[in-house]
Structure formats: C-alpha cells, structure tokens
Amino acid sequence: MTLVCFTNPWGFVDNSRDERNMLKSWREGLVFFGFAGRFRFFRDVILKGSLGKYFLPETSDDNGMGYLMRQADREVSAREQRMSQEGFSQERPDFLQLCLEARMDGKPLTAMQKRAHVTLLIQAGADTTGTALGSTIRFLLTHPSVFARVRAELAAASDANLLSTPIQFEETRAHLPYFVACIKESLRLHPPATNLFGRVAPSPDGKVVDGTWVPAGTEITSNSYVVQRDPHLYAPDPEAYRPERWLEDEGNSKEHIIEMDASAFVFGVGPRVCLGKDLAIMELYKLLPEVFRQFDFEMTEKGEFVVVGGIAYNERFVVQLKPRK
C-alpha cells in the first residue's frame, strides 16, 4: 500500500518484516478502534477533549501508528517541495499525487486532510486485503479438490492464451469463473471487517427495519460474519466452503446468485460503501491467480482467523512458496 500511496515502498516486502512495528501497533489498537467506532460519546466527546492525548498515537513516536503519521507528513512535505520546483513531473501517478491535486470548492486539501487520506488508505487497505488474500489461500490449501479445480482452470485458460503475464483484472473475471467463486466464498465466510460502523435512525420518526420500529437517534449496525452465514440464503450448508454455490453451471439459479451477491456486504453498502473496494477486488483478482500460476504452496502453519474490535486477521498462518517448474 505504501507503493500505491507514495510510489516508494517502505520496506515491508524487501526486508520481510513489520517495519517500525506498524502492523503490530495496528493490531494492538483494534480493541480501542472497535470501541471508539461504536460509541459515539467516546469518539465525539472524550477523544476530542483533553483526554484524547492518552488514547491516540503521537507523531513523535518512533514506532507504530505514530511513526506512520509522521512518515506520511514527511512524504507529503517532500512531494509538495518537489512540486514547487520548475519542471516537476510525477512520472507514475500515485494516491498522494491525487490528494495534492484534489480541490474542494476550488481549494486544495488541508494538511490534516492530506495526512488523513494517505494514512487511512494504508491502515484500512493493507491488513484487511491481506486478510482476504490469506483466507482465500488457506481455504484452497485445506480443500484439495477445490484447489485442484482452480489449478485446472488456470492451466486451461493459460493453454488457450486467454491470460496475460501478469494476469489482468478483466481476464480473471471473464476466464476464471471458478476462481472468482472461490474469492467470493472466502469473503463470505471470512470477512476482513466483520462489524460495520453503525447508522443512526433518522429524526423525528425513527425507522422501521424488517418490521421492527427503531426510535430516532438509535445507532444500529449489522454483522457481516453472521449475515453471510444466513441458514436460509446459503442452505443447506451455510458454514461450508463451497464455491460452487456461486455458479449457474452448478445448478444454481441466476436469481439466487444475484440475491447472494446483494446480501454480501463485506465492503458495506450504499453511500458509505468502502472507498477502497475496487482496489481490494483488483488485488484479489490479479495477484492471487498469478501467484498460484507461478508457485507451488506448502502450508506449514494453519493458524486461525481472529476477530478483534470488528477487524479480522489471520494469526500464525504460514506458507512456503516454491517456483513452479
């Protein structure tokens, strides 16, 4: 995500480590994140008051989220300085450049807005998408018949010269339907963000939700982990990893598949849908099939799917990759 944000990676992949404990810090803060995200009084009154400094990271921190904020400020300042020089040209557009060129009512974003946008993309996009990638890999490795079918589909599409190198997003959608079904099924069973932010019932009359009146001002939410296991919608096996449920060729009606798609809200729904949804889907559709085409996988630690503060991640999940011959 630092590559997408700033063009320059921060070393996570090259050094094979959690740089400055940013990931560790993010996960340690998930309990607080979940609490603050669900209690408006705490978020709107406590955090914005004098007590907020005891809960939030500082840019003076040498590690963790505080370091992320400081480094984001440095990246913004360095880019703005280069932009002020004559003949500046950003050869490869990145998210930071889009933020610097953005205008609201004809005015550039404030320094706080610029930092907020780039840090949010890194925080919200790195670990959550990584969870989706990891969960899909683990489901495939623990379901050999499914994995064999994925391999066969990839091989057939490659032999027919239907796939580029690297694989393109539209190629996955058009030529790897079973692989797409595997991704959908992984997101259904292991949503990276299980509990979405609440919505407030409108004034003055409140809202009727599924036959139940909710008074005005009441905050309500829904849990994708539960909803996406609905025993009626996903009958007869809502807990099973069965990608075939998403395919018409497997005897499922088009109408039922559309209903399942509409009920899958791992990225949220409506005007507050996740802004990074398209980027996350593109990563899943491009990276996963290419990695499976290029490497053999051996799972050395199965690990487990952990949910903390409404955010999920895979703990102690380890695989070894070997180039395919």
Euclidean distance between CA atoms 289 and 155, whole angstroms = 11
Q: Which two tokens stand for residue 163?
A: 């796939």
Query: What separation in angstroms does the CA of 305 have from each of 212, 261, 280, 299?
Result: 33, 23, 19, 15
Euclidean distance between CA atoms 111 and 118, whole angstroms = 11
Q: Is 314 helix (H, G, I), strand (E, B) or coil?
A: strand
Euclidean distance between CA atoms 185 and 33, whole angstroms = 27
Cβ neighbours of residue 176 under 8 Å, at least 6 residues apart?
153, 154, 157, 289
Q: Which two tokens stand for residue 79?
A: 């880019």
Residue 127's closest CA among 180, 78, 68, 70? 68
The annotation status of 5 as a binding-site residue, yes or no, is no
Core vs surface per residue 152-168: b (16+ CB within 10 A) or e: ebbeebeeeeebeeebb
Residue 193's closest CA among 241, 128, 251? 128
Extract the annotated binding site for heme.
Answer: 274
Extract the annotated binding site.
Answer: 274
